[in-house]
């Protein structure tokens, strides 16, 4: 069972305690035969594409932030060492 099918069951059957029909996820050449399942799958795929695109953007932003943070931490260490040297000299 793929993620869509699990989502479909969790959304439309489990909350109501209804047992799904055995042919609910029957397919022909990769296409769901039950019209509602077919339509919900199309919508789910569309939303998943949006989720994946947002996840990629978030991963990219996180990577950039970590890269920038590395330089900030190095700069802070340098400033700390500079202040220590200045205090020793006074």
pLDDT tens digits, one per residue of 58-83: 999 999 998 888 877 777 777 767 77
Predicted structure pTM score:
0.68
Is 21 in contact with 36 (CB distance < 8 Å)?
Answer: no
Place of tokens 């340098």: 78
Tens of pLDDT along 26-63?
999 999 999 999 999 999 999 999 999 999 999 999 99
Bin 20: left if φ > 0, else alpha if -120 < ψ < 50, else beta: beta
Angle between the N-to-C axes of helices 35-89 and 3-12, in degrees from 0 to 180, rounded to the nearest 10 = 110
């Amino acid at each position: 069972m793929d993620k869509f099918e699990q989502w479909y069951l969790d959304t439309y059957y489990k909350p109501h305690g209804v047992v799904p029909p055995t042919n609910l996820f029957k397919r022909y050449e990769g296409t769901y035969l039950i019209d509602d399942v077919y339509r919900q799958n199309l919508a789910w795929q569309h939303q998943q594409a949006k989720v994946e695109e947002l996840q990629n953007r978030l991963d990219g932003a996180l990577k950039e932030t970590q890269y920038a943070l590395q330089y900030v931490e190095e700069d802070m260490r340098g400033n700390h060492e500079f202040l220590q040297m200045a205090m020793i000299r006074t």
